[in-house]
Amino acid sequence: MKHIDVKDIFSNKDYLGKSVTVCGWVRTARDSKNVAFLALNDGTTLNHLQIVIDKAGGKTLPEQAGKLGASIKVVGTVVENMNNGSPEVNAEEITVLGVCPPDYPLQKKFQKLETLREMPHIRVRTNTFNAVFRVRSIMAASIHRFFQDRGFIYVHTPLITASDCEGAGEMFRVTTQDFADAAKYKTEEEYYADDFFGKKAGLSVSGQLEGEGMAMGMGKIYTFGPSFRAEKSNTLRHVAEFWHVEPEIAFCELPDLIEIAEEMIKYIIKDYMEKCPEELKFFEERFEKGLTEKLKNVVENDFAVVDYTEAIDLLLKADVKFEFPVSWGCDLQSEHERYITEQIYKKPVFLINYPKEIKSFYMKQNPDGKTVAATDLLVPGVGEIIGGSEREADYDKLVAAMDARGMNKADYADYLDLRKFGSVPHSGFGLGFERIIMYATGMANIRDVIFYPRTVGNIR
């Protein structure tokens, strides 16, 4: 169906005076004796195109075209609105493509985000979600461009795996075994031996381990795909299926990694500010006052780099009563992370050198014997958006870390090989794609930046 995007009608003055065909959904309708107005949105812009039906001049508004949510095709001439100079279309012909009955759920002008979450397929027709998903698309392209322009190889790591990268027991199981047959087996091993893969398999929590393998031959790689976590935490920033950006870089130590992560965040944010001014203005007005200024500061200023030990000292000195007590060795809770980034530094903070006991087995052990060369990037409002580290490149130290955690080394044979055959210092991180979208848009709930959010008890 040949037609012009509404976005182009707004951005290209050449359409003035020309006859065009536009398609979209009716957002509002006003009908009077001599004239009728429709506000048409086709999803390409937040701007609604006004369609004018000159009834006095003999044009008619088909009854079904005046209903909220109806989809229509309009042929008409683009003219300039006398009052505000915006383009509008004087309709010659209106065709109803799809009628919309009165039980259309978006009858009310403002609906709570909570209500809209109950209808993911319909909420994309609101300005809020229209803006969110356009920004999501722009940011995804931006991430690819950032890495591609710097010579990183885009890698597709397996989503079904037998190894647990983060070791926190948060994997979804993948099985074709029949529940009815379960009683047949005496042990778990027997049960999985009969399963599709002949052993216990799950959905990947991270592409890192395979990504490291690829980087050990290709140099610089990145993955950008879904990761799965069976965490039962019902928070504003966790989903069971999220999109994960994971670069892995050979010949790269922790300070180099931090530099790349900071450059990447600044690049994505700057690109978003340039490409989505309309959406940014919308988020600023509706969701986060000061958003533009916040993002400008991110692009223009250095991020802080703070040692975990120093952060603990600062938290201990803080004049605040935290719900979870702080001491060296503790895993930082969201309230601590937010205090550090929101109250103390008021900008993004790379926390580095965490105690080895609270971090993963693969992280490079520091010479102090107590900490690992890990980093989390914390940002005001959202908390952790990146987790990464330099990797342990020494075979013996890696084996010791795995033994200390009681891990089955046979499951990680390929991973260990990387330390056996020409091991190199290397590093990588994981960026939670939804978390950076939250940060960039001011959306406070992760469920509002992904089309169909998967959370405990929700598989709609």
Smallest separation, CB 367 to ligand 4AD (Å): 21
Q: Is 231 in the site for ligand 4AD (CB under 6 A)?
A: yes
248 vs 279 by CB, closer to ligand 4AD: 248
The partner residues of 160 in beta bridges, in order of sequence, read: 203
Going from the C-alpha of 379 to that of each of 183, 273, 295, 351, the distances in angstroms are: 49, 18, 11, 11
Query: Which residues, 6+ apart, have CB-to-CB distance to 394 below 8 Å?
Result: 419, 423
Query: Which residues, 6+ apart, have CB-to-CB distance to 183 below 8 Å?
Result: none
Instruction: Out of 20, 52, 221, 385, point to the residue binding ligand 4AD (CB under 6 A).
Output: 385
Q: Is 262 in the site for ligand 4AD (CB under 6 A)?
A: no
Of 13-21, 240-248, 286-294, 307-315: span binding ligand 4AD (CB under 6 A): 240-248
Q: Is 442 in the site for ligand 4AD (CB under 6 A)?
A: no
Q: Is 69 in the site for ligand 4AD (CB under 6 A)?
A: no
* Burial of 64 from C-beta contacts in 10 A (0-12 / 13-18 / 19+): middle
Smallest separation, CB 410 to ligand 4AD (Å): 21
Separation between Cα atoms, residue 229 and residue 393, nearest integer Å: 27
107 vs 235 by CB, closer to ligand 4AD: 235
Smallest separation, CB 20 to ligand 4AD (Å): 42
Smallest separation, CB 281 to ligand 4AD (Å): 26
Q: Is 165 in the site for ligand 4AD (CB under 6 A)?
A: yes
Task: Please tell me the total number of residues recorded for the chain in this structure.
Answer: 460
Separation between Cα atoms, residue 170 and residue 179, nearest integer Å: 21
Smallest separation, CB 383 to ligand 4AD (Å): 9
436 contacts 385 by C-beta, under 8 angstroms: yes
Smallest separation, CB 82 to ligand 4AD (Å): 49
Instruction: Out of 128, 130, 206, 341, point to the residue binding ligand 4AD (CB under 6 A).
Output: 206
How many residues of this chain bind ligand 4AD (CB under 6 A)?
A: 22
282 vs 429 by CB, closer to ligand 4AD: 429
Separation between Cα atoms, residue 157 and residue 314, nearest integer Å: 40
- Residue 64 backbone phi and psi in degrees, to 5: -70, -15
Q: Is 435 in the site for ligand 4AD (CB under 6 A)?
A: yes
78 contacts 18 by C-beta, under 8 angstroms: yes
Q: Is 386 in the site for ligand 4AD (CB under 6 A)?
A: yes
3-state helix, strand, coil in the chain (%, to 5): 35, 25, 40
Smallest separation, CB 165 to ligand 4AD (Å): 5
Q: Is 430 in the site for ligand 4AD (CB under 6 A)?
A: yes
Subset of 120-149 contacting ligand 4AD (CB under 6 A)? none
192 vs 222 by CB, closer to ligand 4AD: 222
Smallest separation, CB 221 to ligand 4AD (Å): 11
Of 18-26, 111-119, 341-349, 425-433: span binding ligand 4AD (CB under 6 A): 425-433
Closest to 14 measured CA to CA, from 76, 80, 72, 82 = 80
173 contacts 413 by C-beta, under 8 angstroms: no
Q: Is 380 in the site for ligand 4AD (CB under 6 A)?
A: no
- Residue 366 backbone phi and psi in degrees, to 5: -75, 160
Starting at the edge strand found earlier in the chain, the sheet holding 426-432 runs: 153-154, 220-228, 241-250, 426-432, 383-390, 371-379, 349-355, 304-307
231 vs 394 by CB, closer to ligand 4AD: 231
441 contacts 132 by C-beta, under 8 angstroms: yes
Q: Is 244 in the site for ligand 4AD (CB under 6 A)?
A: yes
Q: Is 348 in the site for ligand 4AD (CB under 6 A)?
A: no
Question: Residue 448 gets which letter from DSSP?
Answer: G
59 vs 144 by CB, closer to ligand 4AD: 144
Instruction: Out of 46, 70, 139, 239, point to the residue binding ligand 4AD (CB under 6 A).
Output: 239
Applying CB under 6 A, the residues found at the interface with ligand 4AD are 165-166, 206, 208, 229, 231, 238-239, 242, 244, 246, 384-388, 428-430, 432, 434-435
